[in-house]
Amino acid sequence: MQERKSCLDSQASLPGEECGAKNGPHGKTCSRADTGEVIEVRAKRAKLIEEISYQLTDLITIISGRVEILNERVPGIFVEDLQTIRKAAMKGVEFSKQLRLAALACRREIGGMHDSVGKCLG
């Protein structure tokens, strides 16, 4: 039989997830954290996702701008390659939008959780 690790040694990726510790420091069935910690961690993740999406958009803008400049300067035989780069950049823009939507959904979820916690505590 495999020995269970303590809660603090667990591989749970988010406070509130089961760590599997028996009689851990957070109770009989250890959940590693209270709801407030879960909200805090999710808020930080949402912020990170949002920041990454904006940085990604900035990089894509630079790439697209350089492609437009090169498109005017390079011989015609490279135009098709530059258009391929531009199409890939546009896919990156869509990916960045999806990241921002994921961050927004996470923030909405956090808001709902925060409201629920307030009702329970209030």
Give the separation between CA 60 and CA 54, rounded to whole angstroms: 10
Q: Which uninterrupted H or E stretch holds 87? A: helix 79-121
pLDDT tens readout for residues 25-79: 544 444 555 678 888 888 898 899 999 999 999 999 999 999 999 999 989 899 9
Please, how many CA atoms are within 13 Å of residue 74, restricted to the half-sphere of its CB?
14
For the chain, give the mean pLDDT: 74
CA distance 106 to 51: 14
| % of the chain exceeding 70 in pLDDT | 63
- The pTM for the full model equals 0.59
How far, in Å, CA of 82 to CA of 84, rounded? 5
The first and second tokens of residue 102, run together, are 């994921």
**Among all chains, which residue has been given the structure tokens 């546009």?**
90
